[in-house]
Structure 1
């Protein structure tokens, strides 16, 4: 009796619980999957060192990373999903956040609206009220929205200005040196001609052997001095034709840079940094393409990732160095850009033939410093 009662209770429990254990809410599952995808996307864009913003087809905010909010900290209180970016720009103009808009507010907003609508990836610079400069690029997505990239190029602008001034000073110093050498050589050649002429006149007179020997030595010394002065004159006159050696602390542009990286976002960030510095970047996706591009063109510097498909960076570096040795071609500076930054990785880069090694995420000032060092080596 007791056993039958227990069996009945157990069967009732099973009937109550079993449907619940098998019940799956498809809406809740879809929401969970969507939230997981959104969390992964946010984690990905937060790892990018530059400002990133996603807009929908109407130009409304969908998602942005912390760096984007830091860059536009004066307007960050306006950022909300569903708010139009052009409306935040309009409020920023009212607050005086954009110096270029002062006095032409509506025209400035219309230009920015046109750029956002085009989404063609056209780059332009933007100055903020706190004095910082940004490189801006907006690209249309396949769904009709857009992805915006914001790179702070304030340091690059300052370095470029300092470089321009330093280069101008170097060129002025080179011209002054050339003019001085030319003037000095001309001034020296006049008395040397007199000495040489007098020595020749003495040779035509009656001289005893000792006098003739002394005149011969005078003429020989005058001829040697004249050769030196002529060389000095040639050096001085050709000095203006040769570009001066770039001063330390900057990498003058334009100069051609080959960038090898299999990650499109990394390529885009490096390309923006290089463009802001006045360089002319060419980007490829793997080591094999880097080797082929190097063989086909003349590049001032190569920036090489290590982990790439088809051919890794170390193999590509070794192949370039072997080709240089075999052909006698000028040595091209190579700087590694890699997330692998251990002493072993840096040692492997140097052993392969790299001239520098920068860890990711790459900072603009570190990249410019590495380029300067490679070009000056």
Structure 2
């Protein structure tokens, strides 16, 4: 009887084991199918960093190393062989350091994402996380297309920025090219208007002034869509108000502009000294005592901004009193104004220059 019960118990035990084995196999198969269904590369490692399980996509991604994959093999050893084969461009020339960094990431398992480039040109996003048993699960995502799109976007943005810079430079060039001769026409007409003229001559000068004003309006209309003019308009003042006996250094490379400014300053009672570029302006400022400096921006040898910065640096180093500097320029965009102020200018007047605006600026500079 005892032997009968023993046989019955043995059969039940074998059946239980068989059922457990069957259930375990079903669970393993389901896990395998689930992992294979994941479209990205997945790998499971034990606590020692040895392969346990990986899906087909993982093997496809690392096809140059797939022959090394086997349960129990260490992933770091696979990486070491991959480095020897030249699979990882980032490791070239620093192989041991690269392997140490990669192993540290595996051991940390903090889920920190980083990019990895393969020898065939593909890019991967890599993420490794620790499991509750002390092992790790790794995810490998092919981001080659995303990298290509990002690069294309960056190139498009660079082209757009280059086009915007080209537009700004074109507008700046156009502003200078149009407003510089316009300044001469308008300024000379103003100077002529202040001389003794008969009625017919006064009418002709009036026509010139009116035509110059219309041309100025057209120039502003042409450039305003990309260059917000900030030229300061001052209230009308009597000539010479606050400018008599004023010593003014004028720097402008255009002879007509120098003549116009000289006529305006002389009529206001000031004493102008004219130079042709920033270097001459700096030399003249160092050797003379001037109450105000009028500085063009675009000049050969040394531009106006460089000359202003050099004057401010020299003042700071010598303890010399600050000389007011007023920029007179055909470039009047917000960026131009910011650059003038940053260089150390006290004011910025746009061309064509109006005599009253210049006199007012000189008066304000003298008062300051």
The aligned counterpart of 1:65 is 55
- The residue correspondences of 1:102-117 to structure 2 (distance < 5 A) are 102-117=92-107
Cα shift at 1:198 = 6.2
Provide the rounded CA distance (Å) in 2 between the counterparts of 1:99 and 1:215.
Answer: 72
- The residue correspondences of 1:123-272 to structure 2 (distance < 5 A) are 123-197=113-187, 206-207=199-200, 218=211, 221-228=214-221, 231=224, 232-234=226-228, 237=333
Question: Residues 222 and 240 from structure 1, CA distance in 2 versus in 1: closer, same or farther, beyond 3 angstroms?
Answer: closer
Question: Residues 198 and 136 from structure 1, CA distance in 2 versus in 1: closer, same or farther, beyond 3 angstroms?
Answer: same
Provide the rounded CA distance (Å) in 1 between the counterparts of 2:336 and 2:124.
Answer: 36
The aligned counterpart of 1:38 is 28
Question: Residues 181 and 73 from structure 1, CA distance in 2 versus in 1: closer, same or farther, beyond 3 angstroms?
Answer: same
Question: Residues 28 and 166 from structure 1, CA distance in 2 versus in 1: closer, same or farther, beyond 3 angstroms?
Answer: same
Secondary structure of the 1:234 match is coil
| Number of residue equivalences | 224
Q: Over the residues paired in the alignment, what is the CA RMSD in angstroms?
A: 3.8
- The residue correspondences of 1:254-333 to structure 2 (distance < 5 A) are none
Cα shift at 1:136 = 1.3
- The residue correspondences of 1:49-128 to structure 2 (distance < 5 A) are 49-128=39-118
Unmatched segments (≥5 aa) in structure 2: 1-7, 230-330, 338-368
Cα shift at 1:140 = 0.7
Kept in 2, the 8 Å contact 1:54–1:61? The answer is: yes
Kept in 1, the 8 Å contact 2:171–2:223? The answer is: no
Cα deviations by residue, 1:26-48 (Å, 9 ceiling, x for unpaired): 22222222222222222322232
Question: Residues 55 and 226 from structure 1, CA distance in 2 versus in 1: closer, same or farther, beyond 3 angstroms?
Answer: same
Question: Residues 197 and 159 from structure 1, CA distance in 2 versus in 1: closer, same or farther, beyond 3 angstroms?
Answer: same
Provide the rounded CA distance (Å) in 1 between the counterparts of 2:82 and 2:14.
Answer: 48
Cα shift at 1:226 = 4.4
Cα deviations by residue, 1:310-346 (Å, 9 ceiling, x for unpaired): xxxxxxxxxxxxxxxxxxxxxxxxxxxxxxxxxxxxx
Cα deviations by residue, 1:262-318 (Å, 9 ceiling, x for unpaired): xxxxxxxxxxxxxxxxxxxxxxxxxxxxxxxxxxxxxxxxxxxxxxxxxxxxxxxxx
Output the TM-score relative to the length of structure 1.
0.50
Question: Residues 130 and 216 from structure 1, CA distance in 2 versus in 1: closer, same or farther, beyond 3 angstroms?
Answer: closer
Provide the rounded CA distance (Å) in 1 between the counterparts of 2:139 and 2:204.
Answer: 85
Provide the rounded CA distance (Å) in 1 between the counterparts of 2:182 and 2:143.
Answer: 57
Secondary structure of the 2:47 match is coil
Unmatched segments (≥5 aa) in structure 1: 1-17, 242-377
Provide the rounded CA distance (Å) in 1 between the counterparts of 2:56 and 2:46.
Answer: 19
Provide the rounded CA distance (Å) in 2 between the counterparts of 1:117 and 1:212.
Answer: 87
Kept in 2, the 8 Å contact 1:202–1:215? The answer is: no
Q: Which of structures 1 and 2 has the larger relative contact order (alpha carbons within 8 angstroms, sep 6+)?
A: 2
Of structures 1 and 2, the larger Rg is shown by 2
Kept in 2, the 8 Å contact 1:178–1:239? The answer is: no
Cα shift at 1:83 = 2.0
Secondary structure of the 1:176 match is helix
Question: Residues 233 and 108 from structure 1, CA distance in 2 versus in 1: closer, same or farther, beyond 3 angstroms?
Answer: closer
Question: Residues 96 and 229 from structure 1, CA distance in 2 versus in 1: closer, same or farther, beyond 3 angstroms?
Answer: closer
Question: Residues 145 and 205 from structure 1, CA distance in 2 versus in 1: closer, same or farther, beyond 3 angstroms?
Answer: farther
